Amino acid sequence: ILNVEQSPQSLHVQEGDSTNFTCSFPSSNFYALHWYRWETAKSPEALFVMTLNGDEKKKGRISATLNTKEGYSYLYIKGSQPEDSATYLCASFRRGGSNYKLTFGKGTLLTVNP
């Protein structure tokens, strides 16, 4: 994998449903994996910054896991609410020589219907 790939591209769920998204990223030169939440007309805001293989993070009803060896991360939302509707971005922070580069996937657009 050369780029950050996210799936699905969009998702419609009913209020109360649990859902999950996938992020695939280059495993080479890995430094950190980020998840951002991006609401319409706002700027992306970080949900999680993950660095360790096997890491799991949780914030309320949202959690994420990380596998750096195979290059994937999952974001889970339990009991979706309409206010969870947003685009969820995954980003890879990779080493490039002595510098680091932050590259985003195209995001998963989540719509939660009441």
Partner 1 sequence: DAGVIQSPRHEVTEMGQEVTLRCKPISGHDYLFWYRQTMMRGLELLIYFNNNVPIDDSGMPEDRFSAKMPNASFSTLKIQPSEPRDSAVYFCASSFLGSTEAFFGQGTRLTVV
Query: What does the binding site for partner 1 look like in residue numbers (CB under 8 A)?
Result: 31-32, 34, 36, 42-46, 49, 51, 89, 91, 93, 96, 99-107
82 φ, ψ (degrees, to nearest 5) = -55, -35
Shortest distance in whole angstroms from residue 82 CB to partner 1: 24
Of 97 and 114, the one with the shorter C-beta distance to partner 1 is 97
Residue 82, SS3 per DSSP: helix
Shortest distance in whole angstroms from residue 75 CB to partner 1: 16
Rounded Cα distance, 43 and 13, in Å: 23
Shortest distance in whole angstroms from residue 61 CB to partner 1: 21
Question: What single DSSP character describes residue 16?
Answer: T
35 within 8 A of 46, measured Cβ to Cβ:
yes
Of 36 and 72, the one with the shorter C-beta distance to partner 1 is 36
Of 90 and 112, the one with the shorter C-beta distance to partner 1 is 90
88 within 8 A of 110, measured Cβ to Cβ:
yes
